Amino acid sequence: MISDAFAYPFKGAGKYMLIIGAILSLLAAGASYIPFLGLLIAIGASGYFSACIFKIINFTACGQDEACEWPVFQDFFSDLVMPWLCMLSVSFFSFVPYVLVSILFEDSRFLSIVFLVLGFVHLPMAILCVALSSTMRSAFWAITLPLIANCTPQYFILVLVTGGLYLVISILNNVLSNIPILGWFLSFFLGMYSLMVSSLIIGLFYRENKHLIG
């Protein structure tokens, strides 16, 4: 199943999502330097890719194994801003403890690392809950932590796989950053690839553990 997940972006509409997604990422990154308009473009692009993550998760959770089409864009607020806010809540509830600990206990590097790791552990379940409900509050600890407890130890396999993918992609992006133009495009291509594969894996996790998550 995991090996199929890594080939997922190259199936059906996936290969078009990969290429178009990389180009959109590159254009959005360049446009983000434009004052004010750049901020709107950055929010819009982040929201669109967040909507893409949520759609892949839901599509996979429903039993579909082929890559889905791009999310439909009709309204700036509901189709772009709301997914962006939902993903922002995921980041907030996953990493605000790390930020607070780093500020309050700035001399304790160990504590900071512990809460950073806990943030990454919380992240996949927060993304899954928000994707399924389309609400910001679903990333709250009172909802996510009991579900993580219900899904142990399967959930930690999910964390290791998605975390390992993120680590490998980060290392490759660091290497590619030294290659002008082509390296930048390949970096965004890998980013889109990572987004699609990790979203699929989260969707597959839900499909296999639906009876534990509800």
Nearest-angstrom CA–CA distance, 150 and 38: 42
Its pTM surpasses 0.85: yes
Cis peptide before 153 (omega within 30 of 0): yes
The pair of structure tokens assigned to 141 is 């600890």
Q: What is the pLDDT of residues 32-46, one digit of tens each?
A: 677 777 778 788 888
How many structural domains does the chain have? 1
Nearest-angstrom CA–CA distance, 12 and 76: 28
| Spatial CA neighbour of 15 closest among 198, 162, 193, 202 | 193
* Residue 152: exposure state from Cβ atoms within 10 A (0-12, 13-18, ≥19): exposed
- Domain of residue 46, residue span: 2-213
Q: What is the pLDDT of residues 170-204, one digit of tens each?
A: 898 888 878 877 777 788 888 888 888 999 999 99
Specify whether the CB–CB gap between 128 and 94 falls below 8 A. Answer: no
pLDDT of residue 58: 93
